[in-house]
């Protein structure tokens, strides 16, 4: 049994992966089992998202390579399982952040309006239309399901600066001593 599945079954809180964790760049598999385990996992996604003051969270961000994402904005919750874009219109550039990139924000161009199809925890298919911020949140989380990150929309220079900053953050939180200290 893989470690992620074991953590889920034991009811351990979900940890949000930080860039540059390679899992964040991996595509996900469709959900085929709509059962209590799925519903429980989705609830844990919502809990982790809320605990970190997020508006969206995708399964790969907690190490689960399944097509599952949640979005919550202005009191409305959206569970997106096996989502796909049906139609998109317009373009809007706005600031985005990501729970896998704490403290990092950048301007990203995305469609202003989207129509998507997704399933809920019972497997029922729904068509959702969203504009503005909610459309952006849907697309941001759906990108995670394909192994794409919001920094992929940035120029190489901006991407490099963010990569460098995240590497510093990762080194700063590591339990491993700095390279110079290890040599002694």
For residue 183, is it within any domain? Answer: no
> Is 141 an active-site residue?
yes
- Choosing from 36, 91, 141, 176, which is the catalytic residue? 141
Mean pLDDT, the chain, integer: 89
Per-residue pLDDT tens over the stretch 123-175: 999 999 999 999 999 999 999 999 999 999 999 999 999 999 999 887 765 43
pTM of the shown model = 0.86
Q: Residue 38 burial (CB < 10 Å; 0-12/13-18/19+)?
A: buried
Quote the pLDDT of residue 2. 57
| 67: containing domain | 3-176
In a domain, 184, yes or no: no
For strands 68-73 and 56-58, give the pairing.
antiparallel
- b/e map 147-160, b = 16+ CB within 10 Å: bbbbbebbeeeeee
The answer to the question of residue 143 being in a domain is yes
The CATH number linked to 121 is 3.90.45.10
Q: Is residue 148 part of a domain?
A: yes
Q: What is the C-alpha to C-alpha distance for residues 1 and 15, in angstroms, rounded to an integer?
A: 19
Structural domains counted in the chain: 1
Lookup result for tokens 């941001």: 140
Within a domain: residue 34?
A: yes
- Could you tell me if residue 182 is inside a domain? no
Q: Are strands 68-73 and 76-89 parallel, antiparallel or unpaired?
A: antiparallel
Q: Is residue 25 part of a domain?
A: yes
Q: Kindly report, residue by residue over 5-19, the tens digit of the pLDDT.
A: 544 544 547 999 999
């Amino acid at each position: 049994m893989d470690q992620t599945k074991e953590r889920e079954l034991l009811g351990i809180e979900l940890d949000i992966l930080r860039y540059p964790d390679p899992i964040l760049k991996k595509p996900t598999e469709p959900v085929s089992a709509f059962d209590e385990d799925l519903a429980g996992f989705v609830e844990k996604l919502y809990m982790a998202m809320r605990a970190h003051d997020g508006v969206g969270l995708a399964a790969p961000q907690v190490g689960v390579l399944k097509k599952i994402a949640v979005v919550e904005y202005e009191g409305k919750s959206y569970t997106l399982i096996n989502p796909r874009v049906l139609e998109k219109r317009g373009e809007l550039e706005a600031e985005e952040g990501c729970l896998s990139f704490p403290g990092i924000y950048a301007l990203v161009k995305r469609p202003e309006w989207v129509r998507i199809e997704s399933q809920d925890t019972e497997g029922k298919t729904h068509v959702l239309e969203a504009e503005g911020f909610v459309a952006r949140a849907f697309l941001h989380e759906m990108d995670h399901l394909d192994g794409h990150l919001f920094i992929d929309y940035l120029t190489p220079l901006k991407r490099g600066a963010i990569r460098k900053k995240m590497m510093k953050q990762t080194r700063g939180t590591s339990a491993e001593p700095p390279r110079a200290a290890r040599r002694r």
